[in-house]
Chains A and B, each alone.
Chain A
Amino acid sequence: MPRKPQNPASPFFKGRNWKPFAFQQEVWDAYRNGESGLIHAATGTGKTLAAWLGPVIEWMEGDGEANPPLRVLWITPLRALVTDTERALEAPLTALEIPWTLSARTGDTKPSLRAKQNRRLPTALVTTPESLALFLANENASDRFKDLRMIVVDEWHELLGSKRGVMTELLLARLRRISPHVRTWGLSATLGNIDVAMETLLGNRNGRLVRGLVPKSIVIDSLIPPAMERFPWAGHLGVNMLPQVIAAIEEGRMTLVFTNTRSQTEIWFQAILDARPDWAGLVALHHGSLDRKTRDWVEEGLRRGTLRCVVCTSSLDLGVDFTPVDRVIQIGSPKGVARLLQRAGRSGHRPGVPSRITCAPTHAFELVEVAAARDAYRLNAIEGRDPMVCPLDLLSQHIVTIALSGGFVADDLLAEIRSTYAYRRLTDAEWAWTLDFVSRGGEALRAYPEYSRLVFHEGMYRVMDKQIARRHILSIGTITGDATIDVRYLTGGRLGSVEETFIARLRSGDRFVFAGKTLEFVRVRDMTAWVRKSRKTGGEIPRWDGSRMALSSELARAVRARLEAARNGIFLDAEMQAVRPVLEAQADISAIPALDEFLIERVQTGEGHHLFLYPFEGRLVHEGIAALVAYRISRLRAITFSMAFNDYGFELLTAEPAPLEEALAAGLLSPTNLAQDIPASLNAAEMARRQFREIARVAGLTFSGYPGQNKTVRQIQASSSLLFDVFMQYDRGNLLVDQAHREVLERQLEQSRMGRTLERLASSKIRILDIRRPSPLAFPLLIDRTRSRVSSEKLADRVRRMTAQFEA
């Protein structure tokens, strides 16, 4: 019997007194056999080596070709992870003296390195989906990627469920076509639907699911406020747990303070420094809008252990191994079990030390969420992430990308696209429409010969116009987020970027806080906000859109269970003990709803008549149900609703009382006509119009321009809202408009979850309580100023009630 060959990579392990884990060996063997797959495990458990050494061993055992061309493509979701990934991949190459070249390509890559890569790609390339798309938009793409053996998609769970994930699927399909024997391996954190995660990554191929190390036990605890406010506030500004947070930072050697939004990061950074000025230079902040250099400096400090504390957002959820971190604090609720575990895993990288995460509530009910998260963790109720299906905006973008790479034959490209999970059920009609839309502008533009984007010539679709090509290249990579503009000092030096909508509101001389500094706004020019340091401190803090996370279904269920216990007088754990006075106040003023009850509170204030409804299903679902309920009531009489939502419920506010009982009797929650009423209510709340913003951007209908843009660029800019109106009015068959409706339903509202919630509510006992003052549950909704509207009144009648307030 032949002996099992010695692993040629073992000197690397021996040199570190390590031994390969069984799961790593499994991946290497599978790779050798030509298999693809997905590795899931907690962070810092050796997933990187499991994927990376496969092709390295293959080279050592095989050809040993000197100076090999591109063999391994390493795709990472965040630019911030690139440096660290390069470092991790470099280590075994050095130890094993392997003469591979390795470099990274992102938007941050220096021109000299770009030029070098453009001449010849390294043996292993680390990149992001957007940068990879740019490579594929090039005529010589097939040539460059033909020797590819392995594609690794790092942190796949982070891409999954987003349009960037779908973009990655399309790019993988392309690469598999260029290099049919390439293997694909994904690395992912543990998810509730890990099998779907693998199916999405591999398209219609079989694969091997490899489970990494089982995570060590995790401690989840809370900082308990000494005195409990009976009326919690909205939560995103409160820093009144500051003394306890400072004390916790003092306990640790190096602490990560996670917040849920970039604005909170700025707020907490300031607050910590104000409380401990002696920590200047030892406290840093980190979020995705900061300049790369600043982030690098912070990450380096984390690796070396030279910082005391870093205040950060999800920008530090991923990748990067910071062994010196020994304490993790979560400000506010993490809103999901998977995220909580991910963040907890950032600490305790030493053997025998459990990971621990300490939550600092920003309002009282978050204590319930922490206790519930611990329950869900014990029950292993970890969220899944649903992949997006068939976004035609992204398909439009991809078709142009491929047209730029030397053109395509329609049927070949269709087959390639259908090999992805996202488009496996793409219909012939959808394909024909999209292709027609990007090439000739679709049915509505048949009469306009001046329009042409793709040119059909000798059986191939191509882009011929240089302007179109240039604009497309600039717009790849604008999937995430709204248009942002750079923030720079007049004297030079980039601070980062903020959303254009924030800057648009500023006037020269206004102060704002960004990157931990108080800045004075001077002017906007060349897509840059020019600022100077302000001598005064304090100012407005930018709000970045889309940063509010919703309570997951798993956590919502655990919260309802905790409230049911509290209703029965059971207050287990420190968190529930602490929140007890608030829940008792809730029971006193109103009620804690039972599991089979749907609580509706009615109260009148100087502002108007309020209805508070509590399904406890997370804010995304509440947004949809609020629109539906408001729409159905508004059909009974002319009325205007202003709506606010949070994770527990929603508020409907009216100037006159809403006919609630009448509406309930008429079937307010009834499943009848849901198929018509839901879309109608979403229209009434203008949700599809808002969703269209992203679609218009991805499909290349709007774009934010670029530095030094001239008049011709400004002339073709129009807001997505205007375009939405134009399509609604003159091109009703436009599938991008359909997509906006579909996305609101499926993704934003998690339609299936909304349906299940409605069923649950319809079979619940409805309990309407008229209360004299807002309850603790109502309070955060009451003071929330971000609102949407549903109205069946004539606009002119509404306007007569209103007075002008000029936006400052």
Chain B
Amino acid sequence: MNALPLTIAGERLLLYPERAAYWPARRTLVITDTHWGKAATMRAAAIPIPGGSTRESLNRLTQLIERTTARRLVMLGDSIHARSGRSPQTLAEIATWRGRHATLDLVLIRGNHDQSAGDPPAELGIHCFDAPLVDGPFVYRHWPKGSEEGYTLSGHLHPAIRLHGRAAESAKLACFWFGPSVGVLPAFGGLTGTAIIRPNPGDRICAIAGDEVIPIRY
């Protein structure tokens, strides 16, 4: 786990290649777009997709929590993929994971998927919010939209970037995208796609390349 330090809104953040941002000053781990239960949703519709991706994402999350010693986890929306993905296995996996991190403070800012899929079960003790949540210089919200109250940390887009180099090199990579007032995190879930973004000059892009996060010049 090689984290890339980056200062945003005057605060030092660590960007992890496991697709999470950590804010050491508040011991807060921020992730977005986990889309838990997506494979279950597809199975419920008779598309034969094997399970494993939800568990993989939860294991990855456990490693991050242990590594960072985070006390709080903020999820920027789209936690459960769809109502039909709330299968007993999916919910049991999430509950088991929660059991391992019983003291962790959990916050979910609802996204578009949460609105139709429903919140994670109440016994998990996740504080769910519709409105943007202000935390120091940051505003947590699902949609990447600016705010007067601070710098927005958001998700929703599943950002990725296309890189080119000498000798006709090219690669498409999931990335963190920080603009002047809004930052977008990469999607955390394993069975989620990406969308190529169109940044503006001056934006900071940090691409995920294997087990490293690399700031991109352009």
Contacts and interface: CB of A to CB of B under 8 A. Distances in A.
Interface string A690-734: 000000000011000000000110011011001100110111001
Contacts of B51: 444-445, 447-448, 730
A796 B50 contact: no
Interface string A448-479: 10111100000000000101100100000000
Q: Kindly name the residue among A729, A731, A806 whose own CB sees the greatest number of chain B CB atoms within 10 A.
A: A806
Q: Kindly name the residue among B41, B43, B81 whose own CB sees the greatest number of chain A CB atoms within 10 A.
A: B43
Given A450-B40, A722-B191, A796-B214, A802 B163 contact: yes
Interface string B25-46: 0000000000000111111111
Contacts of A701: 47-49
A491 interface: no
Interface string A792-808: 00111011111111110
B161 to A, nearest CB: 6
A215 interface: no
Contacts of B169: 640, 642, 655, 789, 798, 801-802
Interface in A759-808: 785, 787, 789, 794-796, 798-807
Contacts of B167: 607-609, 640, 642, 653-655
A296 to B, nearest CB: 38
Given A718-B38, A726-B191, A795-B171, A451 B166 contact: no
Interface string B144-181: 00000000000000000111111111110100000000
Contacts of A795: 171, 209-210
Interface string B188-218: 0011110011110000010101111010111
Nearest to B112: A711
A185 B212 CA distance: 62
Given A795-B209, A807-B162, A451 B46 contact: yes
Interface string B103-144: 000000000000010000000000000000000000000000
B96 interface: no
Interface residues of B, number: 53
Contacts of B46: 451-453, 465, 467-468
A423 interface: no
Nearest to A723: B49
A804 B162 CA distance: 6
Contacts of B116: 711
Interface in B39-80: 39-53, 56
Contact of B87 (A450, A468, A801): A450
Contacts of A437: 48
A802 B164 contact: yes
A730 B44 CA distance: 18
A542 interface: no
B162 A805 contact: yes
Contacts of A711: 116
Contacts, number: 165
Given A718-B191, A806-B198, A807-B196, A787 B170 contact: yes
A146 to B, nearest CB: 31
Given A447-B89, A640-B167, A799-B173, A715 B162 contact: no
A84 B82 CA distance: 49
Nearest to B117: A715
Interface in A268-304: none
A441 interface: yes
Contacts of B164: 802-805
A406 interface: no
Q: Kindly name the residue among B38, B40, B48, B82 whose own CB sees the greatest number of chain A CB atoms within 10 A.
A: B48
B171 A450 contact: no
Nearest to B43: A451
B52 A448 contact: no
Contacts of A448: 40, 43, 51, 87, 89
B15 to A, nearest CB: 14
A442 interface: yes
Q: Kindly name the residue among A437, A716, A806 whose own CB sees the greatest number of chain B CB atoms within 10 A.
A: A716
A805 B46 CA distance: 40
A712 B83 CA distance: 10
A442 B166 CA distance: 45
Contacts of B161: 804, 806
A225 to B, nearest CB: 30
B205 A804 contact: yes
A640 B163 CA distance: 15
Contact of A796 (B56, B170, B205, B209): B209
Contact of A718 (B42, B82, B217): B42
Given A723-B49, A796-B214, A608 B166 contact: yes
A187 B210 CA distance: 54
B48 A796 contact: no
Contacts of B209: 795-796, 798-799
Nearest to B2: A796
Given A442-B48, A451-B48, A726-B52, A796 B217 contact: no
Contacts of B205: 804
A503 to B, nearest CB: 15
Contacts of B89: 447-448
Nearest to B50: A444
Q: Kindly name the residue among A465, A642, A653, A799 whose own CB sees the greatest number of chain B CB atoms within 10 A.
A: A799
29 contacts: A447-B89, A448-B43, A451-B46, A451-B48, A453-B46, A467-B45, A468-B45, A608-B168, A642-B168, A644-B168, A654-B167, A715-B41, A722-B192, A722-B193, A729-B52, A730-B52, A734-B50, A789-B169, A794-B210, A796-B214, A798-B165, A801-B169, A803-B165, A803-B217, A804-B161, A804-B205, A805-B164, A806-B197, A806-B198
Given A444-B48, A798-B169, A802-B169, 18 more contacts: A444-B50, A450-B87, A451-B44, A453-B48, A471-B45, A654-B167, A655-B166, A700-B47, A701-B49, A726-B53, A798-B165, A799-B212, A799-B214, A801-B165, A802-B164, A802-B170, A803-B164, A804-B205
The 3 closest A-B pairs by CB, nearest first: A608-B167, A802-B165, A441-B48
